[in-house]
Amino acid sequence: MYNLLKGKKGIIFGALDQNSIAWKVAERAHEEGAEFVLTNAPIALRMGQLKELAEKTGSEIIPADATSMEDLTNLVEKSMEILGGKLDFVLHSIGMSVNVRKGRAYTDPKYDFTTKGWDVSAVSFHKTMNVLYNKEAMNEWGSIVALTYMAAQRVFPDYNDMADNKAFLESIARSFGYFFGRDHNVRVNTISQSPTPTTAGQGVKGFDGFISYAEKMSPLGNATALECADYTISLFSDLTKKVTMQNLFHDGGFSNVGVSDAVMERFTEE
């Protein structure tokens, strides 16, 4: 590999199993020389395989509810103790919609579910950066990245209220990115990834058909979880020091295609 992250330290949120983008990011960060702490919600730790990843990458696990300021404060403080100093990178790879899980339509949500999903998927990013910012936990030229999806810009009916959550997430990245850049020379960006068969992604209704459609629409095809990890590593590295407050599409060109030949062929009569 290239030692792109040699000597860098960070926190990776959201790895659950080998299908997780966060899992792939952790593996690649380790290969590039980084040290990091892994974190997820306590219930996710019971369901997933994070101990396996921790052993593989020589990392410690700190459970944290990303909606809890107390948990996030403990996470950041303990991470700096374990890693021996300030942080160089943070990955926020968290998303959840109770309405989707419970089969509630966008036009008939349960608003308690909406609020919970909004807190987990978007406000948690603001809370995380709040703690990092006020504790001055990031090194200069550090990098904070969150994963998003282009349902924040376009309508994908079955993506439900997660689309609203992602739109808010991207706005938080821009707004907090300004203050983090101005005051601490820290970058904040979001990556808008292709539909990816993660555990969470596969919970969206009609996912198989949707991923096939995106593949046919994208000139380069869908980006895989590993390819997203590679892109994330580039944003953690010193090669992208002046990239901030951006929503970066990593989707094989899907976001700029109106229609493709492959899709047109499906709807054109011979």
**191 located within any domain:** yes
Q: Specify the amino acid at residue 41.
A: A
User: For the chain, what percent of residues have pLDDT higher than 90?
Assistant: 88
Q: Name which of 32, 49, 31 is nearest 40 in CA terms.
A: 49
Structural domain boundaries, residue 254: 9-267
Total count of domains within the chain: 1
Of residues 137, 70, 151, the one with CA closest to residue 106: 151
What is the per-residue pLDDT across 71-88, written as a single tens digit (0 to 9) for each?
999 999 999 999 999 999
Q: Is 166 annotated as a binding residue?
A: yes
Q: What angle do CA 177, 183, 184 make, to 5 degrees?
A: 80
- pLDDT, position 209: 81
Q: What residues pair up with 45 in beta bridges, in sequence order?
A: none
Q: Is 21 annotated as a binding residue?
A: yes
Copy the structure tokens of residue 243.
């990239």
Query: Is residue 189 assigned to a domain?
Result: yes
CA–CA distance, 95 with 54 (Å, rounded to integer): 21
- Determine the Cα–Cα distance for residues 142 and 189; give it in Å rounded to an integer: 11
- Is the pLDDT score of 270 beyond 60? no
**Local confidence band at 48 (pLDDT 50, 70, 90 cut-offs):** confident
Dihedral, CA atoms, 164, 168, 170, 172, nearest 10 degrees? -170
Evaluate whether residue 68 is within a structural domain. yes
Query: CB atoms < 10 A from the CB of 242, how many?
Result: 7
pLDDT, tens digit, 9 for 90 and up, residues 152-184 = 999 999 899 999 999 999 999 999 999 999 999
Interval 177-234: pLDDT, tens:
999 999 999 999 999 999 998 766 555 666 788 899 999 999 999 999 999 999 999 9
Active site residues: 149, 159
Is 260 known to sit in a ligand binding site?
Answer: no
Confidence (pLDDT) at 269: 61
Compute the mean pLDDT over every residue in the chain, rounded to the nearest whole number.
95
> Is 172 one of the annotated binding-site residues?
no
Task: Give dist(CA 247, CA 230) in Å, integer.
Answer: 16
Sign of the torsion angle spanned by Cα atoms 162, 164, 170, 175? negative
> How does pLDDT run across 136-147, given as a tens digit for each residue?
999 999 999 999
Residue 57 is predicted with a pLDDT of: 98
Average pLDDT on 106-118 reads: 98
CATH number, domain containing residue 99: 3.40.50.720
The reply to whether 1 falls in a domain is no
Q: In the prediction, which pLDDT does 206 show?
A: 67
Q: How confident is the model at residue 43 (pLDDT cuts 50, 70, 90)?
A: confident
- Read off the pLDDT of each residue in 13-29 and give the average, rounded to a whole number: 96
Residues 6+ apart with CB under 8 A from 90: 10, 11, 12, 13, 128, 132, 138, 142, 143, 144, 145
Please report whether residue 4 resides in a domain.
Answer: no
Check the annotation: does 94 bind a ligand. Answer: yes
Residue 145, φ and ψ in degrees, nearest 5: -130, 140
Question: Does a structural domain hold residue 3?
Answer: no
